[in-house]
Amino acid sequence: MLIGKNPLNEAPEWFLKNIAERPEEYSVNVNGAEIKYFIWGDKTKKPLLLLHGYNAHSFWWDHIAPSLTENHCVVGLDFSGMGNSGRREEYSQEIFVDDVKGVIDDLSWKSCTCIAHSMGGSIATLATSIYPDIFEHLILLDSMIVIPPNVAERMASNRPSARMVVASPDLETAMERFRLTPSQPCKDYVLRHIAETSYIEESDGWYLKSDPLIPNTYKYNDLHDAFTKLDCKLDYVYGQASQLVTQEVLEYMTYVGNLDETYIHSLPGAMHHLFLDMPEEFIFLIKRLLSK
């Protein structure tokens, strides 16, 4: 989806207040890469970790995180190769799990609640099989942890090639080129803020922060076994109009994971990027899940 030239003056007051509340920035070296993480709220409160999706970054949570700080210390990390974190020569789910563990150790957290979107949910699921006590409560957001074989085959044949590395002459032009993947309608003021924080200026123009090597090197795992053996409190949230978590995929995950339907939650009207297109409804739902 292309971004329009819509200034933030159409954004509601709660949104402007949240994005103005800037987090504290920290970093930790994990296997030779500097991993950036950001803290909103009081560090003495209950730990809550936010994991972003593919080619995203921590500032996707800017309009969400401050609303969750009443009872929690909220931390978002940038996976290596994304956001403001350092780059690597190759990427894998295990490497991203190491990023998560490195940040948690740097915070001296024994365990935490984790909210993980899309690809972040797969990383979180694998993390539970490597470090069984890492999460007390895992909230997966529209994440395709396991999928039916026919869907996997279809997705593999349609997998897009790596994005071309395109320089834009200025930030405004770069923002106009910004697209969500998969594409979907979204509140313009949310999308504009995310686009604005997704580019970095180099000597010859503005580039997306994500490492273009990721699509070509990323290695991922079959998570059927990890999902079956997941041993922490689990809530699964999906967008009712998600382009990825279709009814077929949801039924398959429910079967494989033996999920109790009382812990599966639909966000009506939302698509895959559910906390971008339905942010207020999303915050209300997450607060309810965190208070259970």
> Binning pLDDT at 50, 70 and 90, where does residue 9 land?
low
Residue 97 has pLDDT above 70, yes or no: yes
Task: Pick the more confident residue, 245 or 158.
Answer: 245
Residue with tokens 């490492």: 211
**Domain parsing of the chain, residue ranges:** 21-160+218-291
Per-residue pLDDT tens digits for 216-225: 899 989 999 9
> Binning pLDDT at 50, 70 and 90, where does residue 158 land?
low
Structure tokens at 29: 């070296």
Q: What is the pLDDT of residue 6?
A: 47
Per-residue pLDDT tens digits for 211-263: 999 998 999 899 999 999 999 999 999 999 999 999 999 999 999 999 999 99
State the sign of the Cα–Cα–Cα–Cα dihedral 162, 82, 2, 236.
positive
What are the C-alpha distances in Å from 122 to residues 35, 53, 66, 94, 109? Answer: 19, 9, 25, 11, 21
Cβ neighbours of residue 264 closer than 8 Å, sequence gap 6 or more: 235, 236, 238, 250, 254
What is the rounded CA–CA span in Å between residue 143 and residue 263?
Answer: 15
Largest distance between two CA atoms of the chain: 53
Q: How many CB atoms lie within 10 A of CB 280?
A: 14
Q: What phi, psi does 237 have (nearest 5°)?
A: -115, 130
Q: Note if the bond before 66 is cis, omega within 30 degrees.
A: no
What is the rounded CA–CA span in Å between residue 269 and residue 12?
Answer: 20
What are the C-alpha distances in Å from 215 to residues 47, 200, 206, 218? Answer: 31, 19, 20, 6
Q: Taking the model in full, what pTM does it have? A: 0.94
**CATH class as words, domain 21-160+218-291:** alpha beta
DSSP secondary structure letter of residue 235: E
DSSP secondary structure letter of residue 275: H
Q: What is the pLDDT of residue 4?
A: 47
Per-residue pLDDT tens digits for 160-204: 444 557 899 999 999 999 999 999 999 999 999 999 999 999 999
Tally of helices (H runs) and strands (E runs) in the chain:
11, 10
DSSP secondary structure of 90-142? --BHHHHHHHHHHHHHHTT-S-EEEEEETHHHHHHHHHHHHSTTSEEEEEEES
Helix 247-256 × helix 149-157 angle, to 10°: 130
